[in-house]
A and B are shown apart, each in its own frame.
Chain A
Amino acid sequence: MFRRSSVIRYAVATAAALTLSTMVAARASAQGPAVSQPIQARADVAAALTVSGTDLSFGTVFQGINKTVAPSDLTAGRFAVTGAASSGVNVTWTSVPTVLTNSVSGTTMPIGSWTGCANGVSDGSAAGGCTTSINFAGTTAATLSASGELYIFVGATVQPAATQAAGTYAAPVTVQIAYNGL
């Protein structure tokens, strides 16, 4: 009996040693060296678009006589756009009035025949050379200049009725500019 007991103890001891060896080996492997590698995170920031406006002024008009302001006239409406150099933008009109309104009486004066053009050269007038015709009914694609500028000139014709009431008439013209190539 004593000898059989020795055999069993020996076997148990051997098994324990093997188990320990296995555990030690596993722990050693788990402590292998860490490896690392970098990548870059990149972004190109484009300047935000800005738009400023100068009113379109018809000046004094007379009953029954149409008056037109061309885009090249000094009193044409003007939008100055700034943004990322040489980038493409979409020009969309969100408000193109068909009448001007007297804010006191509420009476209106028809306005129509909108015309417009754009260039990236001069904010003084369209005479500097308009390169893009404006589509007031839809979207016009245009390109900012190498210095990130675009100027949009707007003209129209007012049609005062023969019985048009005297007074001041006005309406907003609103343009929306959005990048189309970024």
Chain B
Amino acid sequence: MRIASALCAGLLVLWTGARSLEGQTTNTVNASAVLGVQLRVRGLSDLDFGTVVAGTNKTVNIQAPPADATPGQFSIDGEKNATVLLAFNFPAVLLSASGKTLAIGSWTGCQSTSNSVASCTPFVFGTPLNLRPNNGKLWVWLGATVSAPITQAAGSYSGTVQMTVLYTGL
């Protein structure tokens, strides 16, 4: 008798469940979006070659620059552990106030999730990079080489280096 009661109870549950599917039913799912941290880029330091003697080339090696030179530096803030792509607009020449040009090239990049050039890792331009997992930060350094022929006019030369950052993965 107890077995028969148990079977009846089981059938009742099944029947009740089946009944609930026959009528109108509703369900809800959430539509959600998380607003990611907006990317922020800052230029922290110009790429400064110091003095270049005409007739010589001068390279700013990021981790071992000449005494009177400094590598360029950017900082990036964004979503923790996000992947970003860096795009650079490098000048081919630096310009003087009078319009004379100084050739620049052989650009190099180094990146780190800490603000320490000594710990940075060289990267290939166009390679996606990851922001720091716990705070979404990344620092980037740039180096290059200027080539001054013996006939290079003395004076100050400058050009603009633009870095653009885009999320490619969150």
The B interface, classified by DSSP as helix, strand, loop or mixed, is: strand
A17 at the interface (CB under 8 A from B): yes
Instruction: List B residues 28-60 near A (Cβ within 8 Å).
Output: 29, 31-34, 36, 38-55, 58
Cross-chain contact B53 with A46 (CB below 8 angstroms): yes
A61 at the interface (CB under 8 A from B): no
A binding-site residues for B, Cβ under 8 Å:
3, 6-7, 14, 17-18, 21, 25-26, 28-49, 84, 179, 182
Q: In the complex, which residue of chain A has the Cβ closest to the Cβ of B79?
A: A29
Known contacts A21-B31, A35-B164, A39-B161; is-contact A45 B52 (Cβ 8 Å): yes
From B73, B144, B150, A48 is in contact (CB under 8 Å) with: B150
Q: In the complex, which residue of chain B has the Cβ closest to the Cβ of A36?
A: B164
A90–chain B nearest beta-carbon distance, Å: 14
The interface residues of chain A lying within 8 Å CB-to-CB of B109 are none
Known contacts A30-B167, A44-B156; is-contact A39 B41 (Cβ 8 Å): no
Q: In the complex, which residue of chain A has the Cβ closest to the Cβ of B148?
A: A45
In whole angstroms, what is the CA distance A31 to B156 when docked? 40
In whole angstroms, what is the CA distance A116 to B53 when docked? 27
Cross-chain contact B52 with A42 (CB below 8 angstroms): no
